[in-house]
Chain A
Amino acid sequence: MRRLLGIGSALGLTLTAILGLFITPPDRVMGTLVRLLYVHPSVAWVAYLAFGVTALACICYLWPRTRAPFWDRLAVSSAEIGVVFCALTLATGSIWGRPTWGVWWAWDARLTTTALLLALFIGYLALRRVTVDPGARARRSAVAGLVAFADVPIVHMSVVWWNTLHQPATVLRPSLASPTVSGSMAWTLLLSFVSFTLLYGWLLMHRYQNSVLESRLEDEGMEIALAERWAEAVPSGAGR
């Protein structure tokens, strides 16, 4: 399953790169800059998806009936991927914004919300890093993650009123019947969404496996150390 996802995303991303860089035509207005379209929206989508999964996992952990270490591990795995992709979203957006808007950064609603989202989840990861006891860590970070996520709509609403410059959503607008991208561009965009989502799944499964191993290390580390120490001691004891 994991290997399949890995191969699928690698193939998809390669194909997206080829299509995006060589096959699709440049845009009439934005020229070759439009090729960022095959990276930026899908990366942003993965970031939002990852944070959404984290929030869901936090809810499932806090709900007494579904409380299980699984949700805690899923939350942290997804949050870490989310932070990376959120940073990538801001970086690619910035690269696109400089030639298009003339500035690296604009205090636009969606940019500001995304930046604050990044800060919120960096805080979440920092909190996880410094809490030692696994039970307390799981509970505190679940609350922190959920409360942070609850903040996102409020942040978004406030910054929308504050300032808006970002162009309205191109693909996910209600009237899908008349999308504003067409032909090979639309297919490449779709492919990039699918491949980045596969990549997310692949990374998530690996990261989850890592956190399983991490907690095994926490649990068994002392016992292994003790066993090794005993094993060292036995020969000398026998030799006495």
Chain B
Amino acid sequence: MFRDAALVAGKDLRVEWRSRVGAQQVLPFALVVLVIFAFALDANHNLLQTAAAGLYWVAVLFAGVLTVQRSFALEAADGLRDGLRLSGLDPAGIFLGKAAAVAGQLAVLEIFLAGGIAVLYSASLHGVVLLVLSAVLATIGLAAAGTVYGIVAAGLGVRETLLPLLLLPVVAPVLLAAGKVWEITLQSGPGAWGWMRILVIFAVVYLAAGVLAFGPLLEES
């Protein structure tokens, strides 16, 4: 299962690396979102500093939706879905591989966005352990849930509009919990660890759901 996952993740990341869509489109888009937020909040420094954590995770979420779209657009082209089914790879492995590739891309994106909020919103990034740990957990959860809904919406003509509707309400707890951890940490407040539990539970639930459900979902159609 894990060998298959590594193969699929390697394939997806290689495709992304060669096409540079993530670097040339998704990342600039996420940075533009940060700038747009500043317009919406009237470039008020205090306000931006307070809201930096939440805005950061909203930007990650938007970019995450695009990344998942992209990940399944790859499989939709040229009947690659049938190729995956014929490949004899373990469906659970395919799920983990695709989720890992999405998570990897999101992680890179998050590093750049963190730089973005440090520069644009003058957020001082301290408490790095908490920030990184919560980001890792949130990214796993986002990638897992995104991949589950990616396959559910895959192959439909209206995928682009359907996926955000399906995905955004589902990942609301991640946005809330990760946003809270970052907010608390950036303002050096107490109680960040409690929110970590939600991130852990979410990641575990959606990893399990994906491992169990990916087989049946890949078989049909």
Beyond A151-B173, A161-B198, list 19 extra A-B contacts (CB 8 Å): A119-B165, A119-B168, A123-B165, A123-B166, A123-B169, A130-B157, A130-B162, A133-B220, A136-B220, A140-B152, A140-B217, A146-B209, A148-B169, A148-B170, A150-B209, A154-B201, A155-B172, A157-B201, A159-B176
A169, B158: Cα distance in complex, Å:
41
Is there contact, CB below 8 Å, between B217 and A139? yes
A-B pair count, CB < 8 Å, reads: 81
Chain B residues within 8 Å of A139, by CB: 216-217, 220
From known contacts A123-B166, A136-B220, infer whether A147 and B156 are also in contact, taking CB-CB under 8 Å.
Answer: no
Least Cβ–Cβ distance between A232 and chain B, in angstroms: 33
Question: Is B37 among interface residues, defined by CB-CB distance under 8 A?
Answer: no
Contact of B165 among A116, A126, A155 (CB under 8 A): A126
Contact indicator per residue, chain B 154-196, by CB within 8 Å of chain A (1) or not (0): 0011100010011011101100110010000000000000110
Chain B residues within 8 Å of A, Cβ to Cβ: 148-149, 152-153, 156-158, 162, 165-166, 168-170, 172-173, 176-177, 180, 194-195, 198, 201-202, 205-206, 209, 213, 216-217, 220-221
Is there contact, CB below 8 Å, between A154 and B198? yes
Within 8 A of B (CB), among A128-148: 130-131, 133, 135-136, 139-140, 143-144, 146-148
18 A-B pairs (CB sep. < 8 Å)? A62-B216, A120-B170, A126-B162, A127-B153, A127-B162, A127-B166, A133-B220, A139-B217, A144-B152, A146-B209, A148-B170, A150-B209, A151-B169, A151-B170, A151-B173, A151-B205, A155-B172, A162-B180
Chain A residues within 8 Å of B177, by CB: 158
A155, B169: Cα distance in complex, Å:
9
Chain A residues within 8 Å of B198, by CB: 154, 157-158, 161
Question: Is A15 among interface residues, defined by CB-CB distance under 8 A?
Answer: no
Is there contact, CB below 8 Å, between A119 and B169? yes
Question: Is A34 among interface residues, defined by CB-CB distance under 8 A?
Answer: no
Chain A residues within 8 Å of B173, by CB: 151, 154-155, 157-158
Least Cβ–Cβ distance between A228 and chain B, in angstroms: 30
Contact indicator per residue, chain A 57-84, by CB within 8 Å of chain B (1) or not (0): 0000010000000000000000000000
Chain A residues within 8 Å of B194, by CB: 161
A78, B149: Cα distance in complex, Å:
22
Chain B residues within 8 Å of A131, by CB: 156
